[in-house]
Homo-oligomer: A and B are copies of this chain.
Amino acid sequence: MKVLPEKTVERLSKYRRTLSLELEKDEKYIFSHELANLLHLTPVQVRRDLMLIEYSGSHKRGYEIHNLIDHINTIIDPKGLVPVVIIGMGNFGKAVAHYFIERSRGFKIVGSFDRKTSHCTEGFPGLPCLPMDDLESFIKEHKVKMGVITVPPNQAVAIYNRLIEAGIKGVLNYTPKPLTPVDGVFLEEYDMITSFEKVNYFIG
């Protein structure tokens, strides 16, 4: 299958979670307009996304929820459990860890790093907390594919370079420091300051 548009992948992630909630309510089938309503999208957009992943429903009953979830799984988690590390265990890093411990599907947080290991030793049983020096060796040993950068902004570039050097495949940058895209490494950035200033502007 051709590589999917970023926006479609984002929506598939949301479809899957919404569908799982419906399944828990013992729903078996869902129409495109129902799924669309739950996510404030249009039914056409839902159907087009499903078309792109070559999934078909029935005219009478819509889409079979359990089956569709399985299909989305094969599309967006084709690789089993991808190992992830978090670098920087301040409040933000802790929030990320807290979010994904036990709750992830296609990936698993396998390690956390901080300049002061005292920042991460407590609170996350089963999640190793390591000094920065061990970053490269840990990544190589555990075949870590994805790194989450939650260090202070002035350390972001150095950490990023070390991740690249160690052979990481994807980076999530939560610092406001813009990083330089590198071939073969998927880079996703979220800048909280920008979001705040955007809301501030559109409050009008």
Inter-chain contacts of A196 with B (CB < 8 A) = 84, 100, 104, 107, 146, 172
Q: Closest CB of chain B to A198's CB: distance in Å?
A: 5
Inter-chain contacts of A104 with B (CB < 8 A) = 196
A121-149 contacts to B (CB < 8 Å): 145-146
Inter-chain contacts of A91 with B (CB < 8 A) = 91-92, 94-95, 98
Q: Closest CB of chain B to A141's CB: distance in Å?
A: 19
Please tell me if the beta carbons of A195 and B190 are within 8 angstroms of each other in the complex. yes
Please tell me if the beta carbons of B99 and A192 are within 8 angstroms of each other in the complex. yes
Chain A 170-192 interface mask (CB, 8 Å, partner B; 1/0)? 11100010101100001010111
- Which of A6-14, A56-64, A158-166 is near enough to bind chain B? A6-14
For the complex, count residues of A whose C-beta is within 8 A of B.
59
Inter-chain contacts of A82 with B (CB < 8 A) = 200, 203
Please tell me if the beta carbons of A76 and B200 are within 8 angstroms of each other in the complex. yes
Residue of B with least CB distance to A75: B201
Inter-chain contacts of A203 with B (CB < 8 A) = 79, 82, 145-146, 169-170, 186
- The 18 listed contacts between A and B (C-beta, < 8 Å) are A4-B201, A10-B194, A13-B197, A14-B178, A14-B191, A79-B203, A91-B95, A106-B197, A106-B200, A145-B203, A170-B200, A170-B202, A171-B199, A172-B199, A186-B202, A186-B203, A188-B199, A190-B190
Which 5 residue pairs of A and B lie closest in terms of their CB atoms, listed nearest first?
A91-B95, A92-B95, A13-B197, A186-B202, A170-B199
